[in-house]
Structure 1
Amino acid sequence: MRTTTYESPLRAEQMEQTRLRILEATADVLADEEVNEVTVPLVAVRARVSVRTVYRHFPTKEALFDEFGEWAEEHLRVVLLSYPDTLEGVREMAPALYRMYDERAPLIRALLSKRGQEIRARTRRRRLATFEKAMREVTDGLGPAERRRALGVIYLLVSAPAWQAMREQWDLEGQEAGKAAAWAVRVLTDELRRNPASMKEVGNDDTRR
C-alpha cells in the first residue's frame, strides 16, 4: 500500500518564518561590534530558538553564512528592483540606494562588519560584472590601469562604505549623502565622456613629480 506524505501549509509557513528569524538574528550578531566571534549558539539566542533548530535549517555554520549572504543580496535587490546595468542607471541610483541604506541600516552594518564582508565577497564578482557592463560607455577607451582607477572610484561612490563614511564622519542622512554621491558620479562620468584622457593625465602628473 502506497502512502503519501502530507505537508501542512501552516507548518511550512512556520518553518519559513523561523528560517527568516535566524537570518535576521545573524545580521544582528554580525552588526554587534561587541561580538568577537559569530557562533551558532549566539545566533540561536538572538533568534530565540534552540541550537538544534538552527542546525535543522542550516547543517553547518558555513551553510548559515552562505544562506545569509544570498538572503542579504536578494533582500537588497528586491528593495532596489534591480541592479542597474546601464550608465544612466548608475548615474541615477545613488539617492534611492542611500535611502535604502538608511532604511536597512542594521543589515548594511552587518554586511560591513569584518565577517559580513567575507560573506558578501562570495557574490562580489556578480555585482562587479554588472557594474562594469554599465560603465563600458565611458571606460572602453581607457587603458587597463586608467579603467581600473575610474571603475574603483565610481563604484566606491555607490557602495555602502561611502554611505557609512558620510553618515558617521559628516552626519549626513541617506537623502543628503545620496545627493552628494549622485553629483560626484555625474561629474566624473561627464568628465570621462568629455575627456577620457584626463584619467591618463592624472597618472602622468604623478610620474613627473
Structure 2
Amino acid sequence: MSKRNFLLTDPARPEGPDNAHTRARIDDAILALMAEGDRLNHDLVATRAGVSRRTVYRYCPDQAALRAAAWARIGPAGGIPKTLGEFVGGVASRFANFDDKADAMTVVMASAEGRAIRNVMKEERVAAFRAMLAPRVEALAEPDRTRAIAMFQYLGSGFAWREMRDQWDMDGAGAAAACTWAIEVLLADLERRGARPLADGPA
C-alpha cells in the first residue's frame, strides 16, 4: 500500500534560516498597515504581504511579536542607543528615519495601536536611558533624577519630531538641530547643578 506524502512545510519559508525575501514582504506589509491606521493582526498582514496566515505566524508567533516587528521598522537603526554618545550623535539620523516613514510614524504617535507598539520596548528603553545617563544625574534625588532622564528621552523621540513637524513645519534635520541643542544645554546644566532640585530653576 503506497503512502501519500503531505506537504507540511510552507514554501514561502524554507526550513532552516529565515527567508529574507519573505521577511521583507511581511515587514513591508506591517509598515503599510501602520501608515493606513489599521490595527495589526495576522490576517491583515498575510493578505497585504501575499503570504499565508501560517507563514506570518512563523515569523511573528503572537501579537507582541507583530508589534516588535513594527517597532523594528520605524525605530532607530541599530535599536535603542546604549551610550550617551550614540544618543546625542544619533538624533539627526533617527529623525531622518522618521521623515522617511512619516505616514507610519504619524499614526504610531497618535493611535492606540501605536501606543501598544511603542510600549513593547518600554522596559528596554527606560533601562537604557537610566544606564546611559546615570553618571550625569547621580547627584539628583528622586523624583528629579527620573524627571531629568525622561526629558532627555523625550527630546530624542518621535514625539518631539512630530510636534516640530506638525506645529513648526520642520523637517527632520531642523528638528534634530533644535533637539540636539536642547540636549546639550541640559547636559551642561547638569554639570553645574550638582544636587540642586530642578524646581530651583536653571543652574
Q: Same fold (TM over 0.5)?
A: yes
Report the equivalent of 1:99. Answer: 96
For 1:31-180, list aligned pairs within 5 A: 31-33=35-37, 35=38, 37-49=39-51, 53-58=52-57, 63-75=61-73, 80-81=77-78, 83-109=80-106, 111-112=108-109, 113-180=111-178
> 2-side partners of 1:10 and 1:43: how far apart?
14
> 1-side partners of 2:198 and 2:131: how far apart?
19
> 2-side partners of 1:195 and 1:14: how far apart?
51
The TM-score with structure 1 as length reference comes to 0.74
Report the 3-state secondary structure (helix = DSSP H, G, I; strand = E; otherwise coil) of the residue aligned with 1:58.
Answer: helix
Return the letter of the residue paired with 1:47: A
* 8 Å Cα contact 1:27/1:106 also seen in 2: no
Offset at residue 171 of structure 1 (A): 0.8
> 1-side partners of 2:12 and 2:42: how far apart?
26
From 30, 33, 39, the counterpart of 1:29: 33
Return the letter of the residue paired with 2:156: V
> 2-side partners of 1:105 and 1:55: how far apart?
30
Offset at residue 115 of structure 1 (A): 0.7
> 1-side partners of 2:83 and 2:98: how far apart?
21
Offset at residue 124 of structure 1 (A): 1.4
Q: What number of residue pairs does the alignment pair up?
A: 189
Higher helix share: 1
Change over 3 Å in CA distance of 1:24–1:67 after alignment to 2: farther
Report the equivalent of 1:18. Answer: 22
**For each residue in 1:131-182, what CA deviation from the matched residue of structure 2 results, as whole angstroms up to 9, or x when unmatched?**
1111112111111111121112111101111111111111100011100110
Report the equivalent of 1:4. Answer: none
Return the letter of the residue paired with 2:98: Y
**For each residue in 1:79-106, what CA deviation from the matched residue of structure 2 results, as whole angstroms up to 9, or x when unmatched?**
6345433333333221121112112334
* 8 Å Cα contact 1:72/1:107 also seen in 2: no
Report the 3-state secondary structure (helix = DSSP H, G, I; strand = E; otherwise coil) of the residue aligned with 2:127.
Answer: helix
Q: Which runs of 5+ in 1 are unaligned?
A: 1-6, 203-209
> 2-side partners of 1:120 and 1:14: how far apart?
25
> 2-side partners of 1:139 and 1:26: how far apart?
38
Report the 3-state secondary structure (helix = DSSP H, G, I; strand = E; otherwise coil) of the residue aligned with 2:170.
Answer: coil
Offset at residue 28 of structure 1 (A): 1.8
> 2-side partners of 1:89 and 1:123: how far apart?
18
CA RMSD, aligned part only?
3.2
Return the letter of the residue paired with 1:48: G
Bigger relative contact order (CA 8 A; separation at least 6): 1
